[in-house]
Structure 1
Amino acid sequence: MAIIRYTGIYNADGGVWGETRYVIGHMLGTAACSLCDITHSPIRRKPEWDAMVRRLGVPLEVRHRNEITEAETAFVATVELPVVLAHHDDGRISTALRNHELEAASGSVSAFESALTRSAVLA
């Protein structure tokens, strides 16, 4: 049951309105997403994030909560967002990293990579 890909799901909606609402909420302290803090600087996506994704060996895609598949929607109904899901070669979905693990990374791409690598060993 190998992991064939990962999906990171932000605790934010995509689209112009969703992203604008998140940015304003983040500035006001009413919206937070630990995965957003890992993947993005205040201005753009972090180059070290892109480099880490290339190193992983399996695809990792990040999506907003309003952009996920039906199977992912059903799965994340049982967990707190943001979350990183592992998709296995037998079709199973599991949780690779939960919100508290993403928060522990404190916005660090290298801490995220270490946590994801540890979770893959345990999967």
Structure 2
Amino acid sequence: MAGARTVRRLTGVCAADGGIRGELAFALGKARGTAHCALSDLTHAGRRRRPEWDALVATMGVPFEVVHLNERDEAVAAASEGRTPCVLAHTDSGIVVLLGPEDLAAIGTSVLRFDQTIREAADAEALVLPLSGLGP
């Protein structure tokens, strides 16, 4: 693919703070219906990570890190500000938002659909995503 950039790593940014205080605030907000994170719904079932999520991440040809709002480095914070939850692709020429909040909400909890959607998003951005994934 002419002009394609290679993805070196992926970062998923949750729409909540991490740590005990952040997790408690999110749990209370979720119970009240005032907090939601489509990325967390995809990666976790309750408080446990989804085994199918871990299986997908293990098949990717690049590292995939999931961080909370208060765990972002400066570059990730700048790229994701106001767009969480999201999935970012790190390339040699910068960070690209691959999936935004609406994309992740449309995926729901289907790890297979996530795999397909992230590949389509990479293709649309002319990014080479070296992953085998779960799909064909």
Report the TM-score when normalising by structure 2.
Answer: 0.85
* Cα displacement string for residues 39-89 of structure 1 (whole angstroms, at most 9, x for unaligned residues): 000130100000000112111110001100101111222x42101000002
Name the Cα RMSD after superposition.
1.0
What does 1:47-58 align with in structure 2 at a 5 Å threshold? 47-58=51-62
- How far does residue 107 in structure 1 lie from its aligned partner after superposition? 1.6
Query: Matches of 2:31 and 2:52 in 1, distance apart?
Result: 24
What does 1:1-123 align with in structure 2 at a 5 Å threshold? 1-77=5-81, 79-90=82-93, 92-123=94-125
**8 Å CA contact 2:56, 2:115 repeated in 1:** yes
Q: Structure 2: which 5+ runs fail to align?
A: 126-136
* Cα displacement string for residues 17-46 of structure 1 (whole angstroms, at most 9, x for unaligned residues): 101110111111110000000000013010
Q: Structure 1: which 5+ runs fail to align?
A: none
Query: Matches of 1:108 and 1:26 in 2, distance apart?
Result: 20
Higher strand share goes to which structure? Answer: 2
Instruction: Report % sequence identity.
Output: 42
Q: Which runs of 4+ in 1 moved over 4 A?
A: none
- How far does residue 121 in structure 1 lie from its aligned partner after superposition? 1.8
Query: Matches of 1:76 and 1:37 in 2, distance apart?
Result: 19
Report the TM-score when normalising by structure 1.
Answer: 0.93
